[in-house]
């Protein structure tokens, strides 16, 4: 095995480079002076486009909408995912195996399926597209991230603690509030962040449920297919990369810490 | 009040179960399963030729349309793309997953794990956009080929019918690269997790019994990581099947399933045909999921 280690190292390094090259390019091109093309190396660097991008109202509207949608879809996923996880952990019931499958389905089946299915149903029920139709679609695939995280944490929870709490006279709700919930906190945080990120980034389902509303991914898509100001797209791409990288680094810290303790 | 509720629930666990399971189950049934059923029913309706309205009569007309040559091409193209993308993801993911799982020390492992998570969670559209930048005529990939004096290779590659095009950023090669890139982390993570679960003792035992490393790999490691690979392939395969963004941005006029559904549904308002079109990826994925469950991929997710 030792003879093949350098080869493995090199191959792993190449995959790693492949993973990072596009992100680095995005960071570089945000400072590009060129307006109409993607010439490499960029002919010049400037900060000018950051100012322009930050003054584009359409960008801010899309950004705000995406934040609000993700916040509500995440809240819904936190509640529904935790309830489902608690039910699966606490009880044995007919069809228990199916619950995981059902919750996984929205991310296992292509997004276009959920999208067109919701679209057809909204049409059938004569429900107009709105902020809420976007949220409803997002929550369906966000639940599973919370469910998986919380269920995994439930399974690591020691029964003896719960029994001790009950023996000492706490009722079920008190036990949940003072024993179980604190244990679940980081799982809820991790699951919630994944849900938020999924929702914030989603475009396939959203295309079918958004009507005229523009979330940030839909805004970006329209910028890619019908570019108005390329440099603005570059800057927004840069900002979005930073925006996603920072919470991930932070969450990673957090899980590292909770694993060590 | 709360205490009484709590006691009541303790004595009536079925009520508690209903309270816990009810909301998520109703939500998923109402907003996911029911729409799927509506979709399925729609695929049996048809469009009136004159009015362009949906006629709610059961017929197999849409499914007959699916079998037309141009549509079969779309399914074939998409399924083939999903397959080669999945294959490429397996090949590219393996060395990194293996290194993270079996060679990296704790600190390196954490750092490498993070460097898989970062691209995974970076905005999907930004990643696709990045490839538009990288692959465009004047972009970095062309520049590298030029500097290496390999311009001819690139031109020859782009001249191949079916996979080529006017530039890398408008070709099936470009679509392929972007797909592989965007879904690669979904393969690395379950593969790495599966590799980590392979007990060292088994590998040592295999070595002690006289197997050479390659043999140990083939007969011990490989069978044990198959569930992880299949788990990853659920994502790479399914996500490719339904995507319309990457082909729209990097492709030419040859459609993929996602684009076809979007077009039927959007510009021509033909929901029945769009519905019938999505039934194909649903059937493919359900068969795939059943197979995946058989090999134990669900425990590897």
Q: What pLDDT, on a 0 to 100 scale, did the predictor assign at position A28?
A: 86
Q: What pLDDT, on a 0 to 100 scale, did the predictor assign at position B156?
A: 84
CATH code: domain of residue A94: 1.10.3720.10
B269 φψ region: left (φ > 0), alpha (ψ -120 to 50), beta (else): left
Chain-centroid distance of CA B115 in Å reads: 20
Tens of pLDDT, residue by residue, chain A (261 residues): 456 788 888 889 999 999 999 999 888 888 887 777 777 777 777 888 788 888 888 889 999 999 999 999 999 999 999 999 988 888 888 888 888 888 888 888 888 888 889 988 888 888 888 899 999 999 999 999 899 889 888 888 878 888 888 888 887 788 888 888 888 888 898 889 889 888 998 999 998 888 888 999 999 888 888 777 778 888 888 898 888 888 778 877 776 766 655
Residue A217: both structure tokens together: 């991914």
Q: For residue B170, give Cα distances in angstroms to A27, A84, B1, B175, B299.
A: 23, 45, 66, 8, 39
Please name the residues in contact with A14: beta carbons below 8 A apart, sequence gap of 6 or more: B95
HEC per residue, chain A: CCCCHHHHHHHHHHHHHHHHHHHHHHHHHCCECCCCCCCCCCCCECCHHHHHHHCCHHHHHHHHHHHHHHHHHHHHHHHHHHHHHHHHHHCCCCCHHHHHHHHHHHHHCCHHHHHHHHHHHHHHCCCCCCHHHHHHHHHHHHHHHHHHHHHHHHHHCCHHHHHHHHHCCCCHHHHHHHHHHHHHHHHHHHHHHHHHHHHHHCCHHHHHHCCCCCCHHHHHHHHHHCCCCHHHHHHHHHHHHHHHHHHHHHHHHHHHHHHHC
For residues B198 and B141, give the distance between their C-alpha atoms in angstroms, rounded to a whole number: 38
Q: What pLDDT, on a 0 to 100 scale, did the predictor assign at position B300?
A: 61
Q: What pLDDT, on a 0 to 100 scale, did the predictor assign at position A183?
A: 85
Which residues from B are below 8 Å from A76, CB to CB?
27
For residues A179 and B131, give the distance between their C-alpha atoms in angstroms, rounded to a whole number: 48
The residue ranges of DSSP E strands in chain B, in sequence order, are 46-47, 54-55
Report the gap between the CA of A260 and the closest CA in chain B (Å). Answer: 12
The residue of chain A nearest to residue B214, with distances taken between CA atoms, is A1
In a domain, A213, yes or no: yes
Report the gap between the CA of B295 and the closest CA in chain A (Å). Answer: 15
In a domain, A258, yes or no: no
Q: Report the number of distinct structural domains present in chain A.
A: 1
Its ipTM equals: 0.84
Which residues from B are below 8 Å from A8, CB to CB?
95, 98-99, 103
Tens of pLDDT, residue by residue, chain B (301 residues): 777 887 787 788 888 888 888 899 999 999 999 999 998 998 888 887 777 777 788 888 888 888 888 888 899 999 999 999 999 999 999 999 999 988 888 888 888 888 898 888 888 899 998 998 888 888 888 888 888 888 888 888 888 887 888 888 888 898 999 999 999 999 999 899 888 888 888 888 888 888 888 888 888 888 888 888 888 898 898 899 989 999 998 888 788 998 888 888 876 678 888 888 888 888 988 888 888 888 777 766 6
- The domain of A110 spans 63-225
Q: Could you read off the pLDDT of B180-232 as tens digits, one per residue?
A: 999 999 999 989 988 888 888 888 888 888 888 888 888 888 888 888 888 88
Residue B3: both structure tokens together: 């205490």
Domains and CATH numbers, chain B: 65-300 (1.10.3720.10)
- In chain A, positions 154-193, which contact chain B (CB-CB < 8 Å)? 171-174
């Amino acid at each position: 095995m030792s003879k093949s280690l350098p080869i493995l190292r090199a191959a792993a390094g190449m995959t790693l480079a492949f993973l990072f090259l596009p992100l680095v390019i995005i960071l570089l091109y945000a400072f590009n002076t060129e307006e109409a093309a993607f010439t490499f190396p960029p002919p010049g660097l400037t900060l000018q486009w950051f100012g322009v991008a930050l003054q584009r109202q359409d960008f801010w509207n899309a950004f705000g909408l995406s934040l609000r949608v993700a916040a509500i879809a995440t809240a819904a996923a936190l509640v529904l995912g935790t309830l489902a996880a608690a039910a699966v952990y606490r009880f044995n019931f007919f069809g228990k195996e199916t619950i995981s499958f059902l919750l996984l389905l929205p991310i296992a089946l292509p997004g276009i399926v959920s999208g067109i299915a919701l679209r057809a149903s909204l049409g059938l029920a004569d429900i107009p597209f709105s902020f809420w139709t976007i949220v409803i679609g997002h929550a369906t695939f966000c639940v599973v991230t919370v469910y998986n995280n919380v269920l995994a944490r439930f399974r690591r929870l020691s029964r003896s603690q719960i029994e001790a709490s009950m023996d000492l006279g706490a009722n079920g709700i008190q036990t949940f509030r003072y024993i179980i919930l604190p244990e679940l906190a980081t799982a809820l945080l991790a699951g919630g962040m994944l849900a938020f990120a999924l929702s914030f980034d989603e475009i396939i389902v959203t295309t079918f449920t958004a009507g005229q509303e523009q979330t940030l991914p839909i805004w970006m898509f329209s910028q890619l297919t019908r570019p108005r100001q390329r440099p603005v797209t570059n800057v927004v791409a840069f900002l979005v990369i930073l925006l996603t990288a920072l919470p991930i680094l932070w969450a990673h810290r957090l899980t590292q810490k909770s694993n060590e303790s | 009040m709360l205490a009484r509720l709590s006691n009541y629930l303790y004595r009536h666990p079925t009520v508690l179960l209903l309270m816990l399971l009810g909301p998520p189950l109703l939500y998923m049934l109402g907003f996911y399963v029911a729409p799927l059923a509506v979709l399925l029913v729609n695929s049996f309706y048809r469009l009136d030729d004159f009015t362009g309205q949906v006629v709610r009569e059961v017929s197999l007309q849409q499914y007959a349309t699916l079998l037309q040559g141009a549509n079969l091409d779309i399914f074939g193209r998409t399924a083939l793309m999903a397959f080669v993308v999945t294959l490429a993801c397996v090949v590219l993911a393996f060395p990194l997953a293996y290194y993270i799982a079996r060679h990296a020390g704790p600190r390196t492992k954490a750092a490498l794990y993070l460097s898989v998570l970062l691209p995974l969670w970076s905005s999907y559209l930004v990643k696709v956009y990045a490839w538009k930048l990288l692959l465009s005529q004047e972009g970095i990939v062309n520049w590298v080929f030029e500097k290496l004096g390999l311009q001819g290779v690139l031109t020859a590659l782009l001249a191949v019918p079916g996979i080529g095009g006017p530039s890398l950023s408008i070709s099936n090669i470009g679509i392929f690269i972007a797909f592989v890139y965007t879904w690669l982390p979904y393969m690395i993570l379950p593969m790495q997790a599966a590799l980590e679960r392979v007990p060292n003792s088994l590998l040592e035992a295999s070595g002690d019994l006289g197997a050479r490393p390659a043999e140990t790999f083939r007969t011990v490691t490989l069978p044990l990581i198959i569930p992880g690979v299949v788990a990853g392939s659920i994502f790479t395969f399914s996500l490719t099947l339904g995507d319309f963004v990457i082909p729209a941005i990097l492709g030419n006029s040859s459609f993929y399933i996602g684009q076809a559904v979007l077009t039927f549904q959007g510009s021509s308002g033909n929901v029945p045909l769009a519905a019938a079109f999505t039934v194909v990826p649903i059937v493919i994925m359900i068969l795939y999921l059943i197979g995946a469950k058989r090999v134990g991929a669900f425990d590897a997710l």
